[in-house]
Chains A and B, each alone.
Chain A
Amino acid sequence: MSEPVIHTEELTRTFGEFRAVDGISFSVGAGEVFGFLGANGAGKTTAMKMLTGLLLPTSGKATVAGFDVFSETESIKRNIGYMSQRFSLYDDLTARENIRFFGGIYGLSSSIIKEKSEALLSSLDLIAVADSRISDLPLGWKQKLAFSVALLHEPKIVFLDEPTGGVDPLTRRRFWDMIYEAADKGVTVFVTTHYMDEAEYCDRVSIMVNGRIAALDTPMAMKSSFGVTTMDELFIRLVRPTAGDGI
Chain B
Amino acid sequence: MRVIGFLLQKEFLQIFRNKGMLPIIFIMPLIQLVILSNAATFDVRNVPFNLQDLDRTSLSENLSEQFTGSGYFQLTGESSTSSQALDVLVGRNADLVLVIPEGFEKELMRGGSAKVQLIINAEDGFSAGVIQGYTNDIITAFNRDLIPQLPGSAVAAPQPDIIVRSSAWYNPELVYVDYMVPGILVILVTLVGLFLSGMNVVREKEIGTIDQINVTPMRRYQFITGKLLPFWIIGLGELTLGLIIARVAFHVPMLGSYWLIYLVAGIYMLVVLGMGLLISTLTDSQQQAMFIAWFFMVIFTLMSGLFTAIESMPHWAQNMTLANPVRHFVDIMRRVMLKGSGIREIAVPLAILTADAALLITLAVNRYRKVSD
Contacts and interface: CB of A to CB of B under 8 A. Distances in A.
Is there direct touching of A and B in the complex, by C-beta distance under 8 Å? yes
Interface of A: 49, 52-56, 73-74, 77-78, 80-93, 97, 100-102, 104-107, 133, 159
Contacts of A88: 208-209, 211-212
Interface stretch (B8-16, B33-41, B334-342): B8-16
Interface string B119-141: 00000000000000000000000
B217 A104 contact: no
Contacts of B17: 92-93, 133
Interface string B306-339: 0000000000000000000000000000000000
Contacts of B219: 74
Contacts of A53: 214-215, 370-371
Nearest to A56: B373
A87 B208 contact: yes
A27 B219 CA distance: 29
* Size bracket, chain B contacts: 20 to 34
Nearest to B220: A74
Given A53-B215, A53-B371, 7 more contacts: A53-B370, A55-B373, A56-B371, A82-B211, A90-B10, A93-B13, A101-B6
B3 interface: yes
A54 B215 contact: yes
B163 interface: no
Nearest to B204: A90
10 contacts: A49-B211, A52-B215, A54-B372, A56-B372, A56-B373, A87-B208, A90-B209, A100-B9, A104-B7, A107-B3
B117 interface: no
B18 interface: yes
Most buried by B among A55, A92, A105, A106: A105
A100 B7 CA distance: 10
B2 interface: yes
A147 B12 CA distance: 25
A97 B13 contact: yes
A7 to B, nearest CB: 19
A49 B215 CA distance: 9
9 nearest interchain CB pairs?
A104-B6, A86-B208, A82-B215, A88-B212, A56-B373, A77-B217, A78-B217, A101-B10, A105-B218
Given A77-B216, A84-B212, A104-B2, A93 B7 contact: no
B152 interface: no
Contacts of A81: 215
Interface of B: 2-3, 5-7, 9-10, 13-14, 17-18, 207-209, 211-219, 370-373
A84 B14 contact: no
A78 B7 CA distance: 17
B204 to A, nearest CB: 9
Contacts of A91: 207
Nearest to A97: B13
Contacts of A49: 211
B215 A80 contact: yes
Given A105-B6, A106-B216, A107-B3, A54 B13 contact: no
Contacts of B9: 100-101, 104
Given A54-B215, A73-B370, A92 B18 contact: yes
B44 to A, nearest CB: 51
A133 B3 CA distance: 22
A78 B370 CA distance: 14
Contacts of A107: 2-3, 217
Contacts of A159: 215
A88 B204 CA distance: 9
A137 B372 CA distance: 32
A92 B214 contact: no
Contacts of B18: 92
A126 to B, nearest CB: 18
B10 A93 contact: yes
Nearest to B208: A86
B20 to A, nearest CB: 11
Nearest to B369: A56
Nearest to A75: B217
A92 B14 contact: yes
B208 A55 contact: no
A244 to B, nearest CB: 28
A203 to B, nearest CB: 23
A106 B217 contact: yes
B194 to A, nearest CB: 22
